[in-house]
Every structure is written in C-alpha cells, then in structure tokens.
Amino acid sequence: MAIRRRRVLVGGSLLLAVALVGGALWHYVDRPDDPIHDTAVADAAEKVDRVLFRFEYDHLYQADKYVHSASQDPDVAVLAVTGETHWQTGVTLVLRVMGHGVEIGADGSVIDERDEPICFRLQLGPKDDSRDDDIECPADDPLQVAQDPSLDGVDERLKSALGSTGPDEAAVRAAIDGLKLDPAIAQEVTAQDGRVGVALRAAQYDCILVRVTAQGTELWRPSHTQLAPGELPCAARIALSSTFGRYPH
C-alpha cells in the first residue's frame, strides 16, 4: 500500500516535493517554528505508519475493517470515515493521533515537553493512496469502537488447566471456565473419536487451538499467514483434523 505525502502551504499551493522516506512523501501545513509541535507530529506520524502497516499486513480493504484496526491503537482515534471499499469507492479516514513533543536544549537537556493531538487524512484507493499529515483537527467525536480482547499469557494457563482433564469434554469445558477468561474471547469445544478439540479466538489473528487426547495435551498457535481470510479458521474442528500444527496447504 503506497502512501504519498506532500509538503504544502496553507491555501493548498505546492511548495516542495521532498525526498522519499520509506517509499512515501510527507505532507505538512506550514506553521511557525515550534519544536514541541514538530516532534509531536513526527511521533504521531510514526504511529500512523504502524497503522498503515497493519492495514496492509492484515489484507484490509473494507472501511469498517480499517476503522476497527486503527482504533485498536490506544493513541489513535478515528474521527471520520467515508467510502466502503478500497478498490471500488475508495475509503477516506480522518485520524486523531496523540503525539509526544519535546524541546531539547543545546546541552541535550529537556526544556519542555507535552502531548498533542495531531490529525491525519488517509485516502485509500480507489486508484492511488495518499496521506495528509498535521491537518486541522475537526471537532467530531471519535467513532466508538470496541477494543479486541487478548490471549496474551493464556497459553501456559490453558495447557496447565487441561493437563489433568483427559479427553473428557465436560471436564475440558469446566477447566476452561475456571480460567475466567475475558467474555469477549470466543470459545469452542468439540469432541470426536475419543479426543477433544478447543479453539479460543480473541481476534482474527489471535487464536489458540488445543487437542486433548489420552496421551496428553497439545497446544498450537496458527501463524498470521495461516489465519488470513480464506485460509485457516480458528475452529475446534481444526484441532481434531490433520491440519493441526501444520500449514493448511
């Protein structure tokens, strides 16, 4: 996903096309020199870079998916969105990003520092992608988006809890209930041919699969590539299939 950035004067007149940085050109609104603001913009811009990386890494193209992904960053709020998909209507996002600005003295000491909200406009498709940095922030309230739960730290707790259950579906369910996981984490348990399969899913790419047999408990986290849309589902049946622990193709 190539992002073009341009530097412009207030009023829209083109001032200077600057050197490519990471395959992109920067876009700034001319304003009085303010070291704290400038460094806050730079800090916020790095956070937007990470948002854009996730868009591409996760193969996103729908407006609601862009909004959901961007909103998972605690320093990023989506103020506005228009359009439906990248390749048809194109999607425009306005982001408000908290940047940390600092002014450093000649001796290297910190003179002053503060956090500032910095706004960005992202145009994603339908033909080209572009980005405007440090635009005037609109007065809109952020869109309300639920934060995804997380399976961080669950692996060992889960394996320990299932270590003594054996392939008993009721015992497996009770052991999982005893972990008191976030209710937003999807849970699926299924039994087949003397084995029990478990799937826990917090988000598209946050999945744990477990196979419980008389021989013991096996736990597997499919990779990001394996969990991409159209690839491997985070489902208990996968834990009981020949695909478990391997790439699906």
Residue 218: how many CB atoms within 10 A of its CB? Answer: 15
Average pLDDT over residues 184-199: 97
Q: Return the pLDDT at 34.
A: 86
CA 21, chain centre distance (Å): 23
Whether the predicted model's global pTM rises above the 0.85 cut? no
Instruction: Classify each residue of 137-162 as buried b or exposed e, where b means 16 or more C-beta atoms within 10 Å of its C-beta.
Output: beeeeebeeeebbebeebeeebeebb
**Phi, psi dihedral angles at 212 (to 5 degrees):** -110, 120
Average pLDDT over the chain reads 88
Q: Which helix (H) or strand (E) holds 68?
A: helix 63-71
Question: What is the per-residue pLDDT for 221?
Answer: 97
> CA geometry: angle at 73 spanning 69 and 77, to 5°?
85
The domain segmentation of the chain, as residue ranges, is: 7-135, 154-239
pLDDT digits (tens, 9 = 90+) for 22-47: 334 444 445 557 889 999 999 999 99
Structure tokens at 36: 């704290």
Predicted local distance difference test score (pLDDT) of residue 170: 98
pLDDT of residue 145: 96
